[in-house]
Each structure stands twice: as C-alpha cells, then as structure tokens.
Amino acid sequence: MRWLNCHTRLCFNPFLQDRGRRVDQTDTEAGFQDVHVMVCVGFGFLMAFLQRYGFSSVGFTFLLAAFALQWSTLIQGFFHSLHGGHIHVGVQSMINADFCAAAVLISFGAVLGKTGPAQLLLVALLEVLLFGVNEFVLLSLLGVKDAGGSMTIHTFGAYFGLVLSRVLYRPHLEKSKHRQGSIYHSDLFAMIGTIFLWTFWPSFNSAPTMLGDGQHRTTLNTYYSLTASTLSTFALSALVGEHGRLDMVRQRALGGAEGRAGGGPCEARSAGEQDRAQARGDSKRQPHNSRRVCDQTAEGLPEAVDATAVDGVGLDGGVDLDRPPMPRSPVLPQVHIQNAALAGGVVVGTSGEMMLTPFGALAAGFLAGTVSTLGYKFFTPVLEAKFKLQDTCGVHNLHGMPGVLGALLGVLVAGLATHEAYGDGLGSVFPLVAEGQRSATAQAMYQLFGLLVTLTFASVGGGLGGLLLRLPFLDPPPDSQCYEDRIYWEVPGELKDEAQGSLRAEETDTRA
C-alpha cells in the first residue's frame, strides 16, 4: 500500500493547480461537506452490520475513500479540467471525486467480507479509471444528463461489483456463513449509516447541479422521493415480513437443506462464541439459553433441530426464547428498513433536476422502495441460488435496480421536455435541446443509450477486475475466515492466544 500512496503523491505534484476561491465555489462548500460525510460516515456504517466485520467495514471504507479521492482527482482532471498542462482543482472537483469514491464503495458492498485490502486497492485502481472514462463518454460526448448519478454512480458501481462478485464466486462460502449474520448493536450501527445517508441525500443529488432553479428542484424532488420510499418500505416490510414485523435484522433461518446452505450456526451460537470454543477445544459447548440440538446429515453438514421452534438470536448469540416460531425455510438478508428506504434517493438521481414535479417524485420513490424491498425478499435468493451472485450488502436491490429505474425515468422525463415547461431554465438542464441541436425525443434516446454504455463499462470492468483479483499473491481470505476482523485487525476484548488459536483451528481452505 505504501508504493500506491507514494505513486499518487508523485503524480499530483507536477499537474495540480489550485483554482482559488470563486463565488460559485463558495456556495457549493456546504454541499461538498454533506457529500463528504455521506461517503466517509454513511457508507462505512451502513456496511457495519456484520457481527464480526465492523472494523473492516468502516476501516476499509476509510481506506478506499482516501485512495479513490486522490486517484479520481487525477483521472477526472485529465478528462475535464486540464488547462495549460495543469489540472485545476476546486470544490466542484472534490465533489466529483467523492462521487467516484461512492461508486467504488458501492462495488465494495458486493464483495464485503470476501476480499483483502490489497485486492480492494487494486480493483479501486481499475474502477476509478473506468468510472472516469464512462462519465466522460456520457456527460461530455453523449450529452447525457445525470446530475445525481443514477447511471454513472449507482448503476455503474452496483453492476461492476456484482460482476466482480460473480467472477470471485466461492462455492464453499458456507464455511463462514455463521459470521454473515448480525447482532443487535451491529444492526444499530448500520441504521446510523442509513440515517446519515437519508439526511444528506438531497445534497448529494443537488451538489453538482447549477445554482438556482435546477438545484432547488433537485433538492425538493429527492426530499419527497426519500419520504415516499421510506413509507413504502415500512408498509411492505410489515406486509411481507414474518408475523407482520418490520425487518431490520440480517440473519438466516436454520433448518432443511436450504438452511444448511445458508450456513446458520449449529447450536445457535454466535460466530465469536464458535471461534472461541474451537480455540479452547470446546466445540460442543452450548449457550446457556439455547435449546437447539445438532444432528449430522449425510453430507456431513450440521442441521439445526429446534426443539422449541424458536429462531431468534439474542445479544450473546444464543436463542431469544420470546421470539415467535419461524418456519423452516431459508430467510436471506432482507434488512428492508436499513436499505430500501434509501432507494428513493437513487431513483431520482438522473431526473432530479428535471421537471419531475413533487407528485412524480413521490410516485418514483414509492416504486423504488417497493422494488427494493421485494428484491431483498424474493430476488436476492434467486440471484445466489441460480446465478451464483454472492451479494453481501444487497447492492443490486439498493443501487442496481433503483439506478436502472432512475435512468429509465430520466428517459421518460427528458422526452417530455418543452420550452413551455422549463422556460428560460431549459438551457441549464438540456442545453442542446434549448439550442435546437436536438429534439426532446433525441435527448431521451441519448439518455437510454447512456444507460447501455454504463452497463457495458460496468460489466466488462467488473469481469476484468475479478480476473485480476484471482491472482494468488494478493492473499485473499480463505472461505473459512471470511467476514472476520481478526485476520487484519487487532480486536480488543479477546485474548491474543485465544484469537490466534481459533484462526489456526480453522481448516485449510481453498483461496478464491
């Protein structure tokens, strides 16, 4: 990692030049602060739901963001602000760098817990480059409008990460499934990330727009879309959830062949308890409040037999006896409230500065929240079972599908643009239409073509990145040690010899 930092610093010295302080930059500084908080705090804590991967979720988010901000300043500077042999930087360039970092972190969510820091930095090096090329093609060559990044940020980041995850598919990942669940305080930390993102998302979408009516429209449309997606998520979560309860918990039910594939912990122990028990040689110790017993299946995998038909996990990793019975069917991570409530911000990223109207924003947000919630409930299991997509954070439901919907919504709204509707503001939203170089229908076709270009760049880039990350010298975590902080971090509260012993007790595994 040291050579990457030195290389970046050497690249910066001869090219960068401060543009100084301008009136328009002064007005965007507040927006930059909001976007920066979203990237560094919101994304990091949103991914801190894993019970044994909180340090890595927040720490690697910090690492990737710091690297992507520097590298993207160079890449985007070469494309957009290279004058007289110098890259001019300012508040707007820092906002654009944060947008690129957001796309990298979205991709990180798809492979969370299954990659090491060296792999993450290498794939970020490639993704930032492709992000800059894709953005230049869409915004500069095709004249596509995408202020809030439904295409360039969310769609690109999501499908880059999904293809990356598919190439890095781990057939034996069930060896670490007992760590993929959450506990009370890890979900609470993730909800803090949700609140930060939800609060600052109007600034995220409006930061790159021109000051005036366009920025006000973007803020209002995002504001109303987020409220609608939140309400639809709460309603639908209670409708499709077990026993009519709201879903904010990342856990997997146990029992049956599907439950074994989900890798739920035998005897209802938490990941930390199982690892510590292995270090002590006490692999059969039962939590004091657990009534599960273990049978051995013909395949040699543990099958949980619940004598009390209870499936809740308590704070200490045992069974919560007050929780109602759960059916013996697989329950994949849903976390509707943590994620789907944010889909409203994604879906208006492209059309936010257009004449979407408050009603249109509400309808779009409601649709995005519904699609995202149903995706977590029904679509994610299909992707993993049929297409071998191991999407840790569910980026396809929060960023992928809402991003595509947002791009299609932009196609529709752009096709309806008229001088009567926009007045003098048409030039700031669709300058080529205002100048008569394009019709509104032609602009809509360019918007649609921009979506196809983004999906192509994301898919090719993700596939290439996956092939690079399969190189053995990058030292990825083995299947049996995924979603575990102790591989890369000093974890407080655990004896050193106990921590090392539990890791040594893990069987030798095939590396991805």
Q: Is 328 helix (H, G, I), strand (E, B) or coil?
A: coil
Scan for tokens 């090491």, then name that residue.
116
Q: Is pTM beyond 0.85 here?
A: no
**Distance from CA of residue 239 to its chain's centroid?**
25
- Residue 340, pLDDT above cutoff 50: yes
Burial grade of 268 (CB within 10 A; 0-12, 13-18, 19 or more): buried
pLDDT bracket for residue 368 (50, 70, 90): very high
> What is the percentage of the chain residues whose pLDDT exceeds 90?
53
Q: What share of the chain is helix, strand, coil (3-state, %, to 5)?
A: 65, 5, 30
- Residue 255, pLDDT above cutoff 50: no
pLDDT bracket for residue 472 (50, 70, 90): confident
Instruction: Give Cα separations from 54 to 49, 196, 306 (angstroms).
Output: 7, 17, 29
Does any domain span residue 260?
Answer: no
- Least trusted range by pLDDT, from 56-65, 185-194, 301-310, 421-430: 301-310
Element (H, E) at 306: strand 302-306
pLDDT of res. 247: 64
Looking at residue 480, the DSSP 8-state letter turns out to be G
CA distance 113 to 50: 9
Which pair of tokens denotes residue 94?
Answer: 């820092």
Short-list 102, 117, 96, CA closest to 46: 102
Instruction: Give Cα separations from 201 to 226, 296, 349, 486 (angstroms).
Output: 8, 49, 10, 33
Does any domain span residue 314?
Answer: no
Cross-strand partners of 82: 87
Evaluate whether 137 touches 453 at the Cβ level (below 8 Å): yes
Does any domain span residue 203?
Answer: yes
- Residues 6 or more apart whose Cβ sits within 8 Å of residue 147: 205, 206, 208, 209, 214, 218, 349, 350, 352, 353
CA distance 251 to 180: 7
pLDDT of res. 495: 52
Which pair of tokens denotes residue 451?
Answer: 């979506």
CA distance 242 to 310: 13
pLDDT of res. 112: 94
Evaluate whether 86 touches 15 at the Cβ level (below 8 Å): yes
> What is the percentage of the chain residues whose pLDDT exceeds 70?
73
CA distance 410 to 16: 35
Q: Pick the residue with more confidence: 287 or 132?
A: 132
Phi then psi dihedrals of residue 405, to 5 deg: -60, -40
pLDDT of res. 201: 96
452-465: average pLDDT? 97
| pLDDT tens-digit readout, 10-51 | 454 544 554 444 434 445 778 899 999 999 999 999 999 998
Evaluate whether 387 touches 241 at the Cβ level (below 8 Å): no
Does any domain span residue 509?
Answer: no
**In the predicted model, what is the mean pLDDT of the chain?**
80
Element (H, E) at 138: none
CA distance 1 to 120: 11
Which structural domain range is residue 79 located in? 23-254+328-496
CA distance 101 to 157: 10
Does any domain span residue 234?
Answer: yes
pLDDT bracket for residue 354 (50, 70, 90): very high
pLDDT of res. 240: 84
- Residue 280, pLDDT above cutoff 90: no
| pLDDT tens-digit readout, 202-237 | 999 999 888 788 899 999 999 999 999 999 999 998
**Domain count of the fold of the chain:** 1
State the SS3 of 6-29.
Answer: HHHHHHHHHHEEECCCCHHHHHHH
Looking at residue 89, the DSSP 8-state letter turns out to be E
| b/e per residue 99-136 (b: at least 16 CB within 10 A) | bbbbbbbbbbbbbbbbbbbbbbbbbbbbbbebbbebbb
Short-list 98, 162, 163, CA closest to 131: 98
CATH number at residue 456: 1.10.3430.10
Which of 28-37, 73-82, 383-392, 393-402 has the largest mean confidence? Answer: 393-402
- Which residue type, as a one-letter code, is found at position 348? V
Cross-strand partners of 313: 319
| pLDDT tens-digit readout, 140-152 | 999 999 999 999 9
Does any domain span residue 294?
Answer: no
117-132: average pLDDT? 96
Which pair of tokens denotes residue 354?
Answer: 């257009």
pLDDT of res. 265: 38
Does any domain span residue 293?
Answer: no
- Residues 6 or more apart whose Cβ sits within 8 Å of residue 369: 228, 229, 230, 231, 232, 233, 236, 340, 341, 343, 344
67-87: average pLDDT? 91
pLDDT bracket for residue 268 (50, 70, 90): very low
Helix 357-374 to helix 213-240 angle (10° resolution) is 40
Could you give the residue ranges of the DSSP H alpha helices within 38-145? 43-46, 54-80, 91-110, 117-135
Burial grade of 286 (CB within 10 A; 0-12, 13-18, 19 or more): middle
Does any domain span residue 99?
Answer: yes
- Residues 6 or more apart whose Cβ sits within 8 Å of residue 496: none
R_g of the chain computed on alpha carbons: 24
CA distance 398 to 401: 7
